[in-house]
Amino acid sequence: MNDGLLHVSAPITTQQKSFVSVDIINYTQHMIDGLVLTMPNSLIFTEVQASSPLQIEKLPDSVGTNKQFRLKISEISPHSTTSIFLPFETNIIPIITANATDRKLSFESPYTVENPLWKLFKAPLLSALLISIVYFFFLLHNDNVEKKAELQKADLKTKAENLSNQLEKVMAEVKDIRKLELKQRIILLARLSDTSSELQFWRDTIRKLLYSNSFIGKEQAEQVISEITATLKTYAAQERIPDFDSTRLFAEIINKNDPEVSAKKENNK
């Protein structure tokens, strides 16, 4: 925000002179110093007047300023409007400029007249333009975020599908392992059934041979059987053996449906 306003009025010309009023409005609580006005060298410095006390001094000429007059104005009172009356010797319309921007002052003159409508709508238009730019970058950023989210979503979906496929493979392998384990257990039970039956057959055969011998009694025959069992350590064969018919049936079904077993049978033929 500017500290004040520098207003140069339109010149009033007569047959011999021109007069310009310069109004300085100070918005702040401190004095404004170092305001430099540049004007034609036809200024009558001795007739310059001000509406309130302030310091006015003529600056010395420098290179390229011999046709100009420069006034340095200081000690402009705070919260006040100070008017300076500038007379010129000729009736040529003088053009006055100043270092208003350096002093943080707005500058108005007959040659810098701004369209009232533009002045009225300039701030809202600038605000709307700024909001539009911010909104554009917001949409751009939001679009990038959405694209990034879509890429992450697609990546997560791909990873989930890969994990699902891997899980299905693992479950299939576990199923095959369980099937193989079951098949091996059934085959082992079937073999155990055959072995137990064979052991029982030879035990019964030996017992019958011993019973047929008139010199060996029943008790001595059982004792011989017990010694054979102790020597071979086949105590489990003396226990009641369950019926393994169903076990053999399951083993035959598995062997029939197993492609590897079927292939071996074809090769043996």
Model pLDDT, residue 209: 73
Residue for token pair 């979906």: 157
Per the domain annotation, does 246 fall within a domain? yes
Residues 14 and 99 in one domain: yes
**Which residue segment(s) compose the domain that 12 sits in?**
4-111
- For residues 189 and 244, the answer to whether their CB atoms sit within 8 Å is yes
123: pLDDT confidence band, cut at 50, 70 and 90? confident
Q: Do the bridges between strand 55-58 and strand 18-26 make them parallel or antiparallel, or are there none, so unpaired?
A: unpaired
Instruction: Show which of 75, 92, 111 is a domain's final residue.
Output: 111
Per the domain annotation, does 128 fall within a domain? no
Task: Please provide the distance, in angstroms rounded to a whole number, between the alpha carbons at the two ends of the chain.
Answer: 107
Instruction: Show which of 77, 93, 111 is a domain's final residue.
Output: 111
Domain at 50, CATH number: 2.60.40
Residues 107 and 11 in one domain: yes
Lowest model confidence (mean pLDDT) among 101-110, 123-132, 230-239: 230-239
Nearest one of 50, 109, 35 to 82, comparing CA atoms: 50
Per the domain annotation, does 104 fall within a domain? yes
Can you tell me the mean pLDDT for 216-242? 65
Residues 10 and 104 in one domain: yes
What are 79-116's pLDDT values in tens digits?
A: 999 999 999 987 776 778 888 888 888 888 877 766 56
74 has a pLDDT exceeding 60: yes
261: pLDDT confidence band, cut at 50, 70 and 90? low
Residues 13 and 103 in one domain: yes
Residues 102 and 8 in one domain: yes
Per the domain annotation, does 155 fall within a domain? no
Structure tokens at 260: 């590897």
128 CB contacts (<8 Å, ≥6 apart)? none
Q: How far apart are CA 76 and CA 35, in angstroms?
A: 9
Sign of CA dihedral 204, 210, 216, 220: negative
Structure tokens at 66: 């011999």
pTM as predicted: 0.44
What are 156-184's pLDDT values in tens digits?
A: 888 888 888 888 888 888 888 888 887 77
Residues 174 and 100 in one domain: no
Model pLDDT, residue 208: 74
CA distances to 5, 84, 130, 172 from 29, rounded to whole Å, are: 14, 21, 32, 87
Per the domain annotation, does 267 fall within a domain? no
- Give one DSSP letter per residue of 223-267, joined into a string: HHHHHHHHHHT-GGGGSPPPP-HHHHHHHHHHHHH-HHHHHHHHH
Per the domain annotation, does 121 fall within a domain? no
Per the domain annotation, does 129 fall within a domain? no
Instruction: Show which of 66, 87, 111 is a domain's final residue.
Output: 111
Per the domain annotation, does 119 fall within a domain? no
Q: Do the bridges between strand 4-8 and strand 68-74 make them parallel or antiparallel, or are there none, so unpaired?
A: unpaired
CA distances to 108, 221, 227, 229 from 233, rounded to whole Å, are: 124, 18, 9, 5
Total domains present in the chain: 2
